[in-house]
Amino acid sequence: MYLLCKWMTKMRSNRLKIVFMLCLAFVTTGGQHFESKVAQLLQDETEHIKCFVEGKDLTCFWEEEEERNHIHDQYTFTYSYEKKNKMACAVSSLYLLASNKTILFCKLPKTPFFTTLDVQVLRDGRMLYTRSLNAENVLFLDPPRNLTVMSSGKEGQLNVSWLPPLLKYMDDSMIYEVRYAVDGSNMGKVEVIKVSTRLVLLGLQSNTRYKVWVRVKPDGVAYKGYWSAWTEPVFGVTPPSDVDPLIVLLVIFIGLILCLLSLTVILSHHKFLLKKLWPDIPTPEHKFPGLFTVYKGDFKEWMSHNNGSMWGRSVPVYTEELPSPLEVLSEVSLTSHGTSQREERKPVEEDEEKESERSDSGLTDRWRDPPHAHWLMEQLRALQENPESRSQSSLLQSHDTYVTLNQGDNEQQVDDVFEETLPLQTLFTTAGTSSLGTSHSDLGSLQQSSGSGRLSSQSSFEYPNHTWPPKGPGYAYMAVADSGVSMDYSPMSSSRIAELGKHRMYTNDYKNEIFPHKWPLSGQYIKSG
Amino acid sequence: MQTFTGLVSVLLVFLWLGGNLVSPLRPICDLRVLDHFVREARDSEVIMRGCRGGCGAMKSYFVPLTSVDFAVLEHMDVNGQAVEVQTGLSLLDQALSNAMKTVSNSPLANALDNNISNIHSLGQILHSLDLQQARSTVLPDDSAPASTQTQEVSSLPELLQVQSSFLRGKVRLLLSAAPACQRQNS
């Protein structure tokens, strides 16, 4: 085609000129590839005769020496194969603008492949260059066609596809090279792919513009050749990193729920968790009530107040004090029979909570202060020796608490001394009178007996059978409960006495909490009050 | 005599059956098999270039023509190509066997042996494509073939180059144009 156009330039008619222009246009389009290939090989190929196959035709060219004047030398190009006769080829010249060089070339009309070609260049009849080559080894393909770059939808990926150059018989013998780079950057990466005309670029930056080129070459098994020129760059933009807002919202929501749940758990079990994480230092405070709070750690002082209960189990104390039995000894006249005298009584203890014996003994102590105490002791001893009284008072204790009562006769004598007994005196009446149902806190309200009566109190003994035989209706028994501030005297019926006797209580209950600790106890008492 | 004719007729019947009842092979259309053979033929050329001693005597071999004209090829039918390929393969087989007798270098001898077995495999491939039109003719070693489709080479390197060109050109074009494979691709 090129030769035809060249021939046409020689025509002078206008029509032919038009044809020539068209021809030129055609040649330039085709020649772009041709010239670029020639220029490329001019640099790369070392042989004097540079040959390449474009399409199905072999083109061989050589560079014209510049020293030579531009008079056309007689160049002859001959080729032969398979030991046949040499054949000649028409020589043409081409001026390359880019490199400012002139080349002479020859295009073989019928190129034999898969056989060895012997080509020669003769200048003025003399051999200039010679070369043996196989046509299937010098393929110079056109660049791939229809290069397209598309986003695949996935992050950091681009789909690249193209079409192979128009060439028959060689579709499955091609190898491609894809070059891609960020737009504006010079650093590019290359991917090689065989036969296939599609490629997915991976590992790209999101939301970035990329430039992509492709070129092709025969794979080298059946056909060999040179790398084609790069295609024109095609641009593609990678999709932005997909951060689905729904997913973000869901993640935040779930995070909030988890936080709330954990907070709830922590708050509901904060005590348990605190105990586990920050356990309390054990203190023996519960074993020593009041040691640190009341006595500020002063163990001595605390000991002094808590003598009995230090080692024992704490026993709940009744807020309302039970009346502690108190034996009241009636003080008969000094000359009277001693049987009426009762001396001791044994404090009957309850098995469970009791008034402290000390309280009784405390009272007794107070009562003993008067000088009659000694006399009373003697009377007691006398009574002890008396067997009759012994039957009634079978068990006499050495420690006893008793209260002496004065009768009306001896009242005046005793009044001065037994000032404290005054309230009691007023309480006790003779057998005739009874004030059973009354209970008075103020003893003064009771009428004092005229003195005729004789106060006698029943001594409480510890009978073997632990019963309390009521003495008779003649005796009135008073239950005295001392709260420490006021004394509460309540008359008790004999029936109650019997009940109390079952509980081993005293007929007369009196409680005194002064000097509780001075009296030895037979058992354990709990201080109350 | 009657027994003899009876036996002969039985033999003929068997031969006829053997000829007609051959089960068709699956067509081998993958050109990578041929590419493998082509690479091994190229390896022989490389070994030949590096061979020092015992590399075969100077001898003339009759080898097929390897040139391919695409313009001519387009107008040629497949059967004609098949005949040409089959003849060429048999010629190459013969020439390589003759050359191997003169080679004492063991790598080269192994390479040649490999090439010969590859040519036999190609025959089977052509048979699978139902292109084995011409039976391989056993030619005498020294007789010159009267076909115009042959050429004469005078050395082993040339022989190996012819083999390589023949496999890459004519054989490959035939296999790629085989109708059995075209039916598969379409």
pLDDT (tens digit per residue) in B46-87? 999 999 888 888 889 999 999 998 888 888 888 889 999 999
Residue B165 to residue A115, Cβ atoms within 8 A: yes
Looking at the complex, does the CB of residue B169 fall below 8 Å from at least one CB of chain A? yes
Residue position matching structure tokens 């004047």: A69
- Residue B12's pLDDT is 81
Q: Hey, which residues 135-154 in chain A have their CB within 8 Å of chain B?
A: 136
Q: How far is CA B83 from CA A152, A223, A322, B133, in A?
A: 50, 24, 138, 6
| Partners of A212 in beta bridges | A180, A234
Residue length of chain B: 186
What mean pLDDT do residues A298-305 have?
A: 84
pLDDT category, B135, cuts 50, 70, 90?
Answer: very low
pLDDT category, B179, cuts 50, 70, 90?
Answer: confident
SS (H, E, C) A110-158: CCCECCEEEEEEEECCEEEEEEEEEHHHCEECCCCEEEEEEECCCCCCE
pLDDT category, A198, cuts 50, 70, 90?
Answer: very high
Mean pLDDT, rounded, of chain A:
70
C-alpha torsion sign, points A371, A376, A377, A382? positive
What mean pLDDT do residues A467-489 have?
A: 49
What mean pLDDT do residues A98-119 have?
A: 89
Question: What is the rounded distance in angstroms from the CA atom of residue A137 to the CA atom of residue A222?
Answer: 9
pLDDT category, A167, cuts 50, 70, 90?
Answer: confident
- Using a 10 angstrom Cβ sphere, with 0-12 exposed, 13-18 middle and 19 or more buried, the burial of residue A185 is exposed
Q: pLDDT at residue A392 above 60?
A: no
* Window from A196-200, A297-301, A514-518 with minimum mean pLDDT: A514-518
Q: Are A321 and A481 in contact (CB under 8 A)?
A: yes
Residue type, A404: T
pLDDT category, A414, cuts 50, 70, 90?
Answer: very low
pLDDT category, B160, cuts 50, 70, 90?
Answer: very high
pLDDT (tens digit per residue) in A319-360? 566 566 667 666 655 554 444 444 444 444 444 444 444 444
Cβ contacts of A426 within 8 Å, gap of 6 or more? A443, A444, A446, A447, A448
Helix (H) / strand (E) element for A268: namely helix A245-268
A222 → closest Cβ in B35, B67, B161: B35
Which ranges of B1-30 does DSSP label H, i.e. alpha helix?
Answer: 2-20
SS (H, E, C) B40-74: HHHHHHHHHHCCCCCECCCCCEEEECCCECHHHHH
What mean pLDDT do residues A179-196 have?
A: 89
What mean pLDDT do residues A80-102 have?
A: 87
Nearest residue to A117 via CA among A93, A148, A76, A81: A81
Q: pLDDT at residue A72 above 80?
A: no
Task: Look up residue A37 and give its DSSP letter.
Answer: H
- Residue A432's pLDDT is 43
Residue A113 to residue B68, Cβ atoms within 8 A: yes
- Radius of gyration, alpha carbons of chain B: 19
A114 → closest Cβ in B39, B170, B176: B170
pLDDT category, A272, cuts 50, 70, 90?
Answer: confident
In chain B, residues with a C-beta closer than 8 Å to the C-beta of A221 are: 35, 38-39, 168
CA-based nearest distance B173→chain A, Å: 7
B165 → closest Cβ in A83, A134, A172: A134
Cβ contacts of A378 within 8 Å, gap of 6 or more? none
- Using a 10 angstrom Cβ sphere, with 0-12 exposed, 13-18 middle and 19 or more buried, the burial of residue A189 is exposed
ipTM score above 0.85: no
pLDDT category, B143, cuts 50, 70, 90?
Answer: very low
* Window from A138-142, A320-324, B10-14, B177-181 with minimum mean pLDDT: A320-324
Q: pLDDT at residue B145 above 50?
A: no
pLDDT (tens digit per residue) in A22-58? 555 444 445 568 888 898 888 888 889 999 998 888 9
Nearest residue to A200 via CA among A164, A244, A148: A148
What mean pLDDT do residues A200-216 have?
A: 92
Nearest residue to A407 via CA among A340, A374, A452: A452
- Residue A454's pLDDT is 44
A115 → closest Cβ in B38, B66, B173: B66
Residue type, B120: H
Question: What is the rounded distance in angstroms from the CA atom of residue B59 to the CA atom of residue A147?
Answer: 53
- Tokens for B173? 């074009």
- Residue A294's pLDDT is 82
Helix (H) / strand (E) element for A104: namely strand A101-107
Mean pLDDT, rounded, of chain B:
84
- Residue A186's pLDDT is 83
- Residue A28's pLDDT is 47
| Partners of A52 in beta bridges | A59
Q: pLDDT at residue A235 above 90?
A: yes
Q: DSSP string covering A318-340, please?
A: PSSPPPPEE-EEEE--TTS-SSS
Looking at the complex, does the CB of residue B35 fall below 8 Å from at least one CB of chain A? yes
pLDDT category, A439, cuts 50, 70, 90?
Answer: very low
- Residue A311's pLDDT is 53
Global confidence as pTM: 0.54
Residue position matching structure tokens 């074993």: A287
- In B, minimum Cα distance to A167 occurs at B70
Helix B156-166 crosses helix B31-49 at what angle (to 10 degrees)?
160
Q: Hey, which residues 188-227 in chain A have their CB within 8 Å of chain B?
A: 221-223
Who wins on pLDDT, B111 or A496? Answer: B111
Residue type, A258: L
Question: What is the rounded distance in angstroms from the CA atom of residue A311 to the CA atom of residue A10?
Answer: 140
Q: pLDDT at residue B147 above 50?
A: yes
